[in-house]
């Protein structure tokens, strides 16, 4: 569809629903018939907002009028930043090239990301066999980010071994255990629980002495790293979204650490989209049951959870509406 024709259609929709006139600018339009979706690229975020409309009404009406399954609007500025971050990750991989087998596979995937910077569905179209791929450990918490990382590892032709640190039901409740076990079964991935003692962190947080997330994630990461040092695996994948660019790939004591969502400069929406196609349900509540109880007992600690949400929003990982939902869940335990 012609960009000018589409811009005229959007102006008409805005007028019909009382949004007022706006100068609609469109850089590119991509119709994906296979996925039944339309991608509209706007110059900047303000142009993106004009196309989406208040509450998404304009984009919703446009989808109905065009008869497509999904209308997705991206700002060209966001795509430029995303490609830049992926380019930095490629530079980092080239510095380490030859040290680890997995790097060549990641390099190829990043080049595909440069070509398809909007959406990660291209990963699902890969049909690489993992029979001869390098074995990697994946830290699987049961959340959407780590679940995406496991799915992507399989699609990339790696041989993932999922490791879940289990500190007890107050941090890893039964429904999360069932979810991650179902995912591992669906993907045909080996999975192992690692016991961990977080009693001091739990009691300190419940007493209101500190916010638990930083200490908890640090202990979980060190537990996973200690585990794979005793295995013949030289690569571990985590579900970090924030450590983009050069920080997405690092070597720690001879072990390659890959923050896979950050490597792809992925947004939360992109990660959720891939994970949902494999039955992974995404909660709009922030944190685990322990954190919810900490918020209830000690409201002053909620600010540190909100700060974590704002960090992801500032980085472009979360959209403002997603951040608002999470902040509301923090303030309404």
Q: State what percent of residues in the chain have pLDDT above 70.
A: 98
Q: Which CATH number fits the domain that encloses residue 185?
A: 3.40.50.620
Please give the Cα distance from 328 to 314 (Å, whole number): 18
pLDDT of residue 37: 85
Using DSSP's 3-state secondary structure scheme, residue 78 falls into helix
**Does residue 317 surpass a pLDDT of 80?**
yes
Mean pLDDT of the chain: 92
**Does residue 1 surpass a pLDDT of 80?**
no
pLDDT of residue 130: 61
Q: What is the domain range of residue 73?
A: 3-78
- Domain end, chosen from 239, 265, 283, is at 283
**Residue range 235-257: average pLDDT?**
95
308 within a domain of the structure (yes/no): no
**Residue range 72-99: average pLDDT?**
94
Give the lowest-confidence range in 8-17, 82-91, 289-298.
Answer: 8-17
**Are residues 122 and 240 both part of a single domain?**
yes
**Does residue 101 surpass a pLDDT of 70?**
yes
pLDDT of residue 131: 67
User: Could you report how far apart the first and last alpha carbons of the chain are, in Å?
Assistant: 47
Residue 191 per-residue DSSP state? E
Q: Which CATH number fits the domain that encloses residue 65?
A: 3.30.300.20
**Residue range 172-192: average pLDDT?**
94
CA dist 319 → 39, 111, 118, 164 (Å): 17, 25, 15, 29
**Does residue 139 surpass a pLDDT of 90?**
yes
Strands 249-252 and 255-259, sheet pairing: antiparallel
pLDDT tens digits along 102-120: 999 999 999 999 988 888 9
- Domain end, chosen from 283, 299, 326, is at 283
**Are residues 69 and 120 both part of a single domain?**
no
Residue 85: pLDDT band (50, 70, 90) is: very high
Which single residue is written with the structure tokens 């990301």? Answer: 113
CA 256 to chain centre: 20
**Are residues 128 and 184 both part of a single domain?**
yes
312 within a domain of the structure (yes/no): no
210 within a domain of the structure (yes/no): yes
Q: Please list, in sequence order, all residues whose beta carbon lies within 8 angstroms of the beta carbon of residue 5, skipping any fewer than 6 positions away.
A: none
Sign, CA dihedral 318-320-326-327, equals: positive
The number of distinct structural domains making up the chain is: 2
Using DSSP's 3-state secondary structure scheme, residue 232 falls into coil
pLDDT of residue 201: 94
pLDDT of residue 220: 93
Question: Nearest-CA neighbor of 58 among 114, 17, 105, 94?
Answer: 17
Alpha carbon dihedral 287, 288, 294, 296, in 10-degree steps, equals: 80
- Give CA angle at 131 (126, 133), nearest 5°: 70
**Are residues 131 and 222 both part of a single domain?**
yes
Tokens of 42: 């706007």
pLDDT tens digits along 25-77: 999 998 888 778 889 999 999 999 999 998 889 999 999 999 998 899 999 99
Please give the Cα distance from 64 to 42 (Å, whole number): 20
Q: State what percent of residues in the chain have pLDDT above 90.
A: 74
Q: pTM for the whole thing?
A: 0.91
Answer for the pair 282, 275: CB distance below 8 angstroms, yes or no. Answer: yes
**Residue range 211-219: average pLDDT?**
94
Question: Nearest-CA neighbor of 115 among 73, 147, 134, 87?
Answer: 87
**Does residue 307 surpass a pLDDT of 90?**
yes
pLDDT of residue 218: 93
Please give the Cα distance from 2 to 8 (Å, whole number): 10
CA 176 to chain centre: 17
**Are residues 152 and 259 both part of a single domain?**
yes
Residue 128: pLDDT band (50, 70, 90) is: low
The helix (H) or strand (E) run that includes residue 235 is strand 235-238
pLDDT of residue 129: 64
pLDDT of residue 333: 58
330 within a domain of the structure (yes/no): no
Please give the Cα distance from 252 to 265 (Å, whole number): 21
């Amino acid at each position: 569809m012609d960009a000018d024709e589409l811009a005229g259609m959007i102006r008409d929709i805005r007028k019909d629903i009382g949004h007022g006139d706006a100068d609609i600018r469109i850089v590119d339009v991509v119709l994906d018939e296979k996925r039944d979706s339309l991608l509209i690229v706007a110059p900047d975020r303000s142009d993106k907002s004009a196309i989406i409309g208040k509450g998404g009404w304009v984009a919703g009406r446009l989808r109905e009028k065009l008869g497509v399954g999904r209308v997705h609007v991206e700002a060209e500025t966001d795509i430029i930043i995303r490609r830049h971050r992926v380019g930095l990750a490629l530079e980092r991989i080239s510095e380490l090239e030859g040290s680890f087998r997995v790097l060549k596979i990641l390099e190829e995937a990043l080049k595909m990301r440069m070509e398809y910077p909007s959406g990660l569905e291209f990963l699902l179209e890969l049909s690489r066999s993992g029979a001869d791929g390098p074995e990697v450990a994946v830290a699987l918490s049961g959340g959407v980010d780590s679940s995406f990382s496991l799915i992507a590892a399989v699609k990339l032709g790696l041989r993932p071994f999922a490791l879940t640190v289990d500190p007890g039901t107050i941090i890893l409740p039964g429904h999360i255990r069932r979810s991650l076990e179902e995912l591992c079964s669906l993907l045909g991935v080996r999975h192992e629980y690692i016991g961990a003692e977080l009693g001091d962190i739990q009691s300190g947080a419940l007493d209101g002495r500190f916010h638990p997330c930083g200490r908890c994630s640090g202990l979980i990461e060190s537990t996973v790293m200690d585990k794979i040092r005793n295995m013949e695996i030289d690569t571990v994948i985590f579900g970090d979204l924030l450590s983009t660019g050069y920080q997405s790939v690092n070597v720690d004591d001879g072990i390659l650490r890959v923050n896979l969502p950050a490597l792809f400069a992925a947004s939360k929406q992109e990660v959720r989209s891939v994970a949902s196609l494999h039955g992974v349900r995404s909660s709009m509540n922030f944190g685990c049951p322990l954190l919810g109880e900490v918020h209830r007992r000690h409201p002053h600690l909620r600010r540190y959870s909100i700060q974590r949400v704002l960090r992801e929003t500032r980085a472009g990982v979360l959209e403002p509406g997603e951040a608002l939902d999470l902040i509301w869940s923090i303030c309404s335990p």
